[in-house]
Amino acid sequence: MSSRFTRTDVLPRWLCGLGLALALLTSGPAQAQSIESVLSPGPVIEGHVKTEHECKACHTRFDRNAQDGLCIACHKEVGQDVRAGTGWHGKRDQKQQPCRACHTDHKGRGFKAAAFDQKSFDHKLTDFELLDKHAKVDCAKCHVAGKRWREAALSCDGCHRKDDVHKGSLGAKCEDCHSARDWKTTRFDHDKTRFALTGKHIDAKCDACHVDQRYKDTPRTCIGCHRKEDDDKGHKGQYGEKCETCHGTKAWKPSQFNHDTDTRYLLKDKHRQVKCSACHTTPLYAKKTGKTCIDCHQKDDKHKDTLGRDCAKCHTERGWKEPAGFDHQKTKFPLRGKHVDTPCKQCHEDNAHFKGAPTRCIDCHKKDDKHGGTLGDKCESCHGEQNWKTLLPGSFDHDKTKFPLRNAHASRTVKCTDCHESPRHFKNTPTACFSCHKRDDRHEATLGEKCEQCHGDLNWRVPRFDHAKTRYPLVGGHLVVACKACHQSLRYREAPRDCYGCHRKDDRHKAALGPQCENCHNVRAWTLWDFDHDRGTRFRLEGKHRRITCEACHTQPAPPGRKAAPVGSDCMACHRKDDVHEGNFGRRCEQCHDNENWKRLKRGTRP
């Protein structure tokens, strides 16, 4: 009997398994691990083969919550993300979503435990949020086959190396200049480089200096880019390669070189009118230019060196033919300006008595005093010997008066008589703009007489008019509209301030919805409108009513003060012609008919 009951082939399988489990549990830890293997729900995935028979590598007895700690301990990269709060695993809610919620096991060798739904995946929870054009790119473009998802490149250069027309010459930080919104639009600040852009350089195209998309080692000297201009202008390298000595970035002409301050040779009179090449006939730095008269005027010396080489003894820069044997400059009255050309007898009436001649201006020019003595007798305070009509620079300082001259007022084209009606009335001249510019007021006095509120003295044009300080600030699409589009005349205050005043021709509703366009439209774009009929009116749009045009119901012009022409709120107000019952069933059509399909009757109604 005993031998018959101990045979396993006649005992139930569950009893054999239970007996085997009890035997293993009582025999020690090694045998207990084996029983767990026997009770395994199925083969593990390919990546967990090595630990398939080591249940404790992934499970802790009687503690399911401890499983995540074992996962993180084994998958070190994921564990590092969880601790640092980076990556998808580090940013998700660990308490609500344990590892087994997404990564199950015991599904067989071929099961993909890391697979997920790519369409519903929230990329914001990763270290690389998809913005702009990145949001439309397929996953396979960045996540290359054969590599883990976490191994995708995070830098622009990692994916766009083939798009780098700079061939790596500007480094790998593409985002310094480009953005994900538009690759061709850059935001590079050239002023932060070693060559800040000024003047005409601001408007120059990039490829004008950076040939073949090469941005490094670009020449920063003027001659590096403008050698052709140096040849075309006739210098041909004669004045060296420091173009900035004479020229500026604002404009190639005129030259800003000041011979008086930048050299040791002060140019006077006729020398100021001479071209540079007339004196500098050899390369500037190869041979020094002579400073004596004879160095340049050897051919003009009609004395053939018989009077020596010091031409300045007799001649001056004012004119070669002017005699200068007598040095009047050493007297008490040095001759300057027009006095140099004045015959001696005009001042010295008695040629025998040169001493005692008057030295004050008024003594000789009393008849020329057009001020009639109203400004005193010190003519030299304003006038000079060079030109009686032109005030001496720096002598009379208009800035010390009640009306300092600035910008256009200081221009040589403005004459004294433009403001001062006569030379006898320089004092008490009005200083208000309107007193002189009344004839220039094209607004016909509609904007008042304070011209300086909009205009400046640099020129008559308005430099920076701030429309935001008016009763109609410009926003949205109005910012790019030309002034004359709203201001049909220079009477600016007469311009309408309501939408309908300018957009009457744009009203496709033909006044059916009233003149208050802003109730539906906005200044960003005329085609954008956001009128909510359900909230703004007492008639909620349902069914086909949502797809019809406003004019289908609002057929008449809106009365004054109303947003739209009044329309009845019952069906018969618009559908009287559709009533085949000829009013026999009343005006409440909605009791039987559906607003989505007129012919379809509601449930419960009789046909």
CB 157 within 8 A of CB 174: yes
Q: Residue 40 contacts by C-beta under 8 Å, 6 or more apart in sequence?
A: 52, 55, 106
Strands (E), 390-433: none
pLDDT digit string (tens) for 45-70? 888 888 888 888 888 888 888 888 88
pLDDT band for position 9 (50/70/90)?
A: very low
pLDDT at 483: 81
pLDDT at 24: 45
Q: Percent of the chain having pLDDT more than 90?
A: 0
CB 260 within 8 A of CB 234: no
Over residues 141-162, mean pLDDT = 85
pLDDT at 36: 59
pLDDT at 324: 62
Amino acid sitting at position 495: A
pLDDT at 19: 47
Q: Which has the closest alpha carbon to 467: 487, 449, 445?
A: 487
Neighbours of 88 (CB within 10 A): 18
The sign of the torsion formed by the CA atoms of 414, 450, 434, 451 equals positive
pLDDT band for position 604 (50/70/90)?
A: low
Give the single-character DSSP code of 601.
B
Q: Cα separation of 179 and 169, whole Å?
A: 19
* Long-range contacts of the stretch 369-374 (C-beta < 8 A, 24+): 370/423, 370/424, 371/423, 371/424, 371/426, 372/424, 374/424, 374/426, 374/427
User: What token pair was written down for 436?
Assistant: 């002189």
CB 347 within 8 A of CB 359: no
Q: Cα separation of 152 and 141, whole Å?
A: 10
pLDDT digit string (tens) for 328-338? 787 788 888 88
User: What token pair was written down for 337?
Assistant: 């300006």
Q: Cα separation of 595 and 547, whole Å?
A: 11
pLDDT band for position 306 (50/70/90)?
A: low
CB 118 within 8 A of CB 110: no
CB 289 within 8 A of CB 279: yes
Task: Characterise 532 by phi-psi region: left (phi > 0), alpha (psi -120 to 50), beta (else).
Answer: beta
Look at residue 351 and tell me whether its pLDDT is greater than 50: no
CB 554 within 8 A of CB 509: yes
Task: Characterise 213 by phi-psi region: left (phi > 0), alpha (psi -120 to 50), beta (else).
Answer: left
Look at residue 162 and tell me whether its pLDDT is greater than 70: yes
Q: Cα separation of 218 and 224, whole Å?
A: 9
pLDDT digit string (tens) for 183-198? 877 778 888 888 888 9
pLDDT band for position 355 (50/70/90)?
A: low
pLDDT digit string (tens) for 229-286? 887 766 877 788 888 888 888 888 888 888 888 888 888 888 888 888 888 877 776 6
Which one has a higher pLDDT value, 166 or 94?
Answer: 166
Q: Residue 163 contacts by C-beta under 8 Å, 6 or more apart in sequence?
A: 183
pLDDT band for position 477 (50/70/90)?
A: confident
pTM value?
Answer: 0.33
The position carrying tokens 């589009």 is 485
pLDDT at 319: 79
Counting Cα atoms < 13 Å in the Cβ hemisphere of 375 gives 19
For 224, the enclosing helix (H) or strand (E) is helix 222-232
User: What token pair was written down for 382?
Assistant: 């304003």
Partner residues linked to 383 by β-bridges: 391
